[in-house]
């Protein structure tokens, strides 16, 4: 809402109560109408409703609609090409170079655009480890985006800490501002541009809150590896004996669901760092997919969709009863819930854990040929980490349809990796070897045939396999060597039918199975060629072997 009439708003008298000494004039933002500094969730609810940004549903969640953009605009992301980043950034499809002069012109226009308007500010941190945390400032047009930032990042604990907060990186999210491609050299009217020299990120013409979250992740992915910290697109939890487990995977492969285990303590659901002191969450909240969420299969996440403070993006609701319908995908398959981490009852308040005992690489195999679980050598783990094979699930990126699309997303998060994949892989290898980590490939995709023929593996079986890997039950069973990928596959697992463990046995034709498996192996090999010059030979040979 552009408050040009200067209408009194619900939180107007509290707008400056948590104003820091480091003001917005330091970002070139002047002549603003009113700045709402670090409002709590309750006040942001009042402002969001007053401004007609969303609706309150039964038991308190705030439902919002993001309009045209219901997912990340991956093709609209840029990184400013300047002397501090020129030799470090993995330039290409995901890190498109942007002219620094064009960036300055764009920022000038945004600064002018915001004059006379209300803005909301959240001063917070990325990184639960105080040795590596990054003070950030999130400046938004909308109250609900400010609530999102408050949910997702780590908050100062005292008024004095707010007063002294000085951001080391700033995000300005202006969804009503449109770029001009012909003038700004952007791909469309939407733009997500990171400038590491100016420590500034600009997000324009998208209401999708995930852009704020992933921009901070991109920033951390650039800065921390330069300090020897492994940055990871993974969830993490801790067992009763203090054993930490990491779950790598793209959106929709099960990171959030599998890490939210009632028998284990949740460290975080999406983004983590691995330093010499152990694992730490980058965030203070969760951003879970909630389409077709089940109260029986995912009770912890389901419960969060019924809590005050949760933001539900593009979730359908009844305007009369205010009941939500998590099964309705009329807006998008990528419906989301943003909520503070402590809404999960078994979450670790410190958001930190020790060095991992197990690493789980999650994949969603739409071909229906990969085993549901396999034990990996360190070199095999690096091969699959660099490959990042999965199937993109409809809705997580603009342009995806309903049917899963086979893809390779290096490091299980290529759009957010700023350095070359080999740089992250080298960091991971040194830590895996140093701390003796067990590595597994867990397939949450299809069994009994490819998508459209077989069916997606039951989450009950996936959890049984995962629990057996984490508690050591799979250490005592017999394994066979996979004929294509050479990793070890268990012949049995408590609570899982043997035919599930051997995908070939559930296919109607063995020739059809091997033809499909060999085809997938060929795609692995072709994809990996782009990385071969930068990785050791031992990792290259740890990949699949085509049958003669």
Contact (Cβ atoms closer than 8 angstroms) between residue 211 and residue 73: yes
Q: Which of 18, 27, 72, 213 is catalytic?
A: 72
Nearest to 398 by CA among 90, 114, 76, 133: 76
Cα-Cα-Cα-Cα torsion 185, 186, 188, 192, nearest 10 degrees, comes to: -160
- Choice among 133, 137, 165, 214 that is catalytic: 214
Given the residues 243, 261, 270, 365, the one annotated as active site: 270
* Active-site entry in 233, 265, 419, 431: 233
Cα–Cα distances in angstroms (integers) from residue 232 to residues 269, 376, 534, in the given order: 11, 19, 20
Burial of 183 (0-12, 13-18, 19+ CB in 10 A): exposed
For the question of residue 251 being annotated catalytic, the response is yes
Given a contact cutoff of 8 angstroms between Cβ atoms, the answer to whether 133 and 161 are in contact is: no
The alpha carbon of residue 333 and the mean position of all alpha carbons in its chain are separated, in whole angstroms, by 16
Catalytic pick among 66, 251, 335, 410:
251
Separation of alpha carbons 541 and 126, rounded Å: 37
Q: In the annotation, is 87 catalytic? A: no
Please confirm, yes or no, whether 158 is among the known catalytic residues: no
**Is 255 known to be catalytic?**
yes
Q: Is 233 a catalytic residue?
A: yes
* DSSP-based three-state secondary structure for 152: helix
Could you give the CA distance from residue 188 to residue 181 in angstroms, rounded to a whole number? 5
Binning the chain into helix, strand and coil, the percentages to the nearest 5 are 30, 25, 45
Identify the residue whose tokens are 């402590």: 342
- What stretches of 469-510 adopt beta strand conformation (E)? 479-481, 488-490
* Known catalytic residue at 109: no
Helical H segments across 388-420, by residue range: none
Active site residue 351: no
Alpha-carbon distances of 424 from 33, 94, 232, 304, rounded to whole Å: 44, 16, 9, 33
In order of 85, 139, 149, 182, the CA distances from 143 in angstroms are 33, 10, 10, 31
214 assigned to active site: yes
Q: How many residues make up the chain in this entry? A: 548
Write the burial class of residue 301 (CB in 10 Å: 0-12 exposed, 13-18 middle, 19+ buried).
buried
Active-site annotation holder among 9, 256, 396, 410: 256
For tokens 């410190």, the residue is 350
CA–CA separation, 456 and 445 (whole Å): 5
**What is the CB-side half-sphere exposure of residue 520 using CA atoms within 13 A?**
23
Closest listed residue to residue 224, CA positions, set 451, 519, 427: 427
Burial of 186 (0-12, 13-18, 19+ CB in 10 A): buried
Residue with tokens 């480890």: 129
DSSP 412: G
Cα-to-chain-centroid distance, residue 544: 28
Is the torsion defined by CA of 393, 396, 399, 402 positive or negative?
positive
Selecting among 117, 336, 419, 431, the annotated active-site residue is: 336
Catalytic residues: 72, 214, 233, 251, 255-256, 270, 336
């Amino acid at each position: 809402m552009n408050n040009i009439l200067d209408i009194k708003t619900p939180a107007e008298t509290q707008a400056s109560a948590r104003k820091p000494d480091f003001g917005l004039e330091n970002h070139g933002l002047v002549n603003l109408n009113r700045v709402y500094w670090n409002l709590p969730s309750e006040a942001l609810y009042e402002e969001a409703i007053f401004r007609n940004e969303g609706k309150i549903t039964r038991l308190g969640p705030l439902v919002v609609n993001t309009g045209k953009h219901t997912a990340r605009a991956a093709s609209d992301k840029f990184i400013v090409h300047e002397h501090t980043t020129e030799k470090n950034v993995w330039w290409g499809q995901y890190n498109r170079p942007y002219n620094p002069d064009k960036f300055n012109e764009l920022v000038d226009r945004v600064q002018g655009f915001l004059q006379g308007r209300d803005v909301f500010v959240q001063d917070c941190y990325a990184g639960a480890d105080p040795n590596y945390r990054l003070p950030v400032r999130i400046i938004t047009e909308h109250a609900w985006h400010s609530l999102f930032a408050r949910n997702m990042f780590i908050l100062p604990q005292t008024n004095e800490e707010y007063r002294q907060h000085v951001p080391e990186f700033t995000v300005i999210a202006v969804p009503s501002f449109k770029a001009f491609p012909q003038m700004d050299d952007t791909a469309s009217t939407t733009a997500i541009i990171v400038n590491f020299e100016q420590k500034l990120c600009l997000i324009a013409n998208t209401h999708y809150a995930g852009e704020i979250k992933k921009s901070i992740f991109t920033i951390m992915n650039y800065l921390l590896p330069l300090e020897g910290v492994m940055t990871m697109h993974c969830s993490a939890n801790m067992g009763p004996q203090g054993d930490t487990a990491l779950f790598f995977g793209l959106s929709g492969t099960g990171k959030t669901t599998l890490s939210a285990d009632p028998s284990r303590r949740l460290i975080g659901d999406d983004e983590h760092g691995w330093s010499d002191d152990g694992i730490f969450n980058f965030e203070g909240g969760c951003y879970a997919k909630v389409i077709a969420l089940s109260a029986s299969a995912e009770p912890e996440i389901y419960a969060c969709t019924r809590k005050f403070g949760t933001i539900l993006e593009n979730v359908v609701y009844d305007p009369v009863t205010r009941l939500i319908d998590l099964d309705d995908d009329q807006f998008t398959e990528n419906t989301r819930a943003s909520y503070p981490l402590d809404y999960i009852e078994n979450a670790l308040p410190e958001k930190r854990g020790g060095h991992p005992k197990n690493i789980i690489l999650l994949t969603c195999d739409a071909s229906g040929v990969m085993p549901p679980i396999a034990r990996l050598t360190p070199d095999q783990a690096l091969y699959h980490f660099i490959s990042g094979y999965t199937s993109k699930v409809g809705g997580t990126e603009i342009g995806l349809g309903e049917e899963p699309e086979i893809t390779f997303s290096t490091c299980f998060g290529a759009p957010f990796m700023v350095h070359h994949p080999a740089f992250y892989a080298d960091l991971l290898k040194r830590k895996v070897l140093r701390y003796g980590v067990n590595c597994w490939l867990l397939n949450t995709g299809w069994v009994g045939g490819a998508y459209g023929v077989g069916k997606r593996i039951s989450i009950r079986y996936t959890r049984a396999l995962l629990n057996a890997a984490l508690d050591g039950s799979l250490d005592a069973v017999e394994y066979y060597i996979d004929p294509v990928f050479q990793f070890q596959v268990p012949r049995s697992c408590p609570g899982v039918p043997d035919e599930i463990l051997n995908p070939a046995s559930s296919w109607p034709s063995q020739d059809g199975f091997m033809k499909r498996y060999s085809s997938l192996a060929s795609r692995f090999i072709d994809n990996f060629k782009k990385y071969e010059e930068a990785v050791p030979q031992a990792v290259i040979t740890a990949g699949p072997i085509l049958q003669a």
